[in-house]
Amino acid sequence: MPSDKLIELSHAASLVPNGATMSFGGFTTQRHPMAFVYEMIRQKKRDLYLFGHSPGGDWDILIGAGCVRRVELAYEADEAFNTVGPRWRKAVERGEIEWEDYSNFAMVSRFAAGAMGLPFMPIRSLLGSDVMHQEALTREQRAADLRTSPQKLHVMESPFDPSDRVVLVPAIHTDFAILHVQKATIAGTVRIEGQSFADVQQALCADHVIVTTEEIVAEEVLRREPERNLLPFFAVHHVCHVPFGAHPYAVFDYYDYDPCQLKTYHDGAPDDGTFQEYLARYVYGVKSHAEYLEAVGGSARLDGLKADPAYGYSPNLRRRRLEG
């Protein structure tokens, strides 16, 4: 039998050293491992190097809390809840973060190359754009960190047809991938319900994979329908049982995003003072994820977010931008 990989969330976060390269699962408003992110902020991680396609508040709060030094990304926002991550914007405009811009397809292809053990992936995107022509990282910044590709990308003619041009994007390898999923076994077999985003590619290009899960399920249950599973147990190193672990973001089939909490975050985050108040109240001011869930309103708030099984989300959730 595969071994038991279940550990506490605080223990899992403590395994990440300062300066680690990481990626987080999810996409803008769904399935980010937020409980893990909050725990990393409480543990005062520094100099993290993040890779992502379309992160949202997971990156924004980490950047704002001073945990991040360099990122490679395509997008940083919560879409309709806020079209730019406020702390990401501030960090760039103040020169407090090093970054490189790609597109979503480029980033996903880079994760896929790493996951397949290839040095790069050819794509037909980026041609003619400034995502291709411009580099946000200087040559010196690239050379200063060997984990950054020495070159952003490379344009190449097909060896089979010189009139055909592709862009080669470099593979990503990270120290850690952190996913938040619906179901996992204590051995690490993973089932993701709904859109899988790029979680599989991100996991398979990482040296250490930590999965936080809404539910722990028996191994034989997931093995009854293996075609619905996305990662085998041998690709996962640690498992944490964290219900509501993506709050305030959604988890398909379990709960919806929390429009009130997202409004509270986005109303306060653009200002340094009110952002620090948010951290003090919801991150530093609580000792655990259980205390965080109480701080945001406990079951009175969370019950209203629970998914209707017929939809996989909460069809009656009040989402219109709340005033005042």
Partner 1 sequence: MADYTLTELMAVTAAREIRDGEIVFAGTGLPMLGVMLAQRTHAPNCCIIFQAGTAASQLAHLPMSVGDPRNMRGAALAAGLNEVFSYILQAGRVDIGFLSGAQVDRFGNINSTSIGEDPRHPHVRFSGSGGACDIACLARRTIIIALHEKRRFPERVDYITSPGWLEGAGSRQKAGLIRGGPSVVVTTKGVMRFRHENKAIYLASYHPGLTAQGVAEDTGFNLDIEGANETPAPTSEEIRILREVVDPERIFLK
Sites for partner 1 among residues 259-298 (CB under 8 A): none
Q: CB neighbours (10 Å) of residue 44? A: 11
Interacting stretch for partner 1, rule CB under 8 A, among 35-43, 127-135, 181-189, 219-227? 127-135
Do residues 10 and 242 make contact, with C-beta atoms less than 8 angstroms apart?
no
The Cα-based distances of 75 to 12, 53, 239, 302, 315 in angstroms read: 27, 6, 28, 28, 28
Interacting stretch for partner 1, rule CB under 8 A, among 41-49, 265-273, 274-282, 305-313? 305-313
* Beta carbons within 8 Å of 214's beta carbon, 6+ residues apart: 180, 181, 182, 183, 242, 243, 244, 245, 251, 254
Q: For the CB of residue 312, give the shortest distance to partner 1 in the complex, in Å.
A: 5
Site for partner 1 in 153-172 (CB under 8 A): 155, 165
User: Which of 16, 63, 67, 77 touches partner 1 by CB under 8 A?
Assistant: 77
User: Which of 57, 85, 243, 248 touches partner 1 by CB under 8 A?
Assistant: 85
Interacting stretch for partner 1, rule CB under 8 A, among 34-42, 145-153, 169-177, 307-315? 307-315
Interacting stretch for partner 1, rule CB under 8 A, among 4-12, 28-36, 232-240, 292-300? 28-36
Residue 59 backbone phi and psi in degrees, to 5: -75, -40
Which CB atom, from 2 or from 194, has the smaller least distance to partner 1?
194
Identify the bridge partners of residue 22 per DSSP, sorted by sequence position: 50, 176
Q: Determine the Cα–Cα distance for residues 48 and 211; give it in Å rounded to an integer.
A: 19
Say whether residue 80 binds partner 1 (CB under 8 A).
yes
Q: CB neighbours (10 Å) of residue 122? A: 14
Do residues 132 and 105 make contact, with C-beta atoms less than 8 angstroms apart?
no
Q: For the CB of residue 142, give the shortest distance to partner 1 in the complex, in Å.
A: 13
Site for partner 1 in 201-260 (CB under 8 A): 201, 250-253, 256-257
Say whether residue 101 binds partner 1 (CB under 8 A).
yes
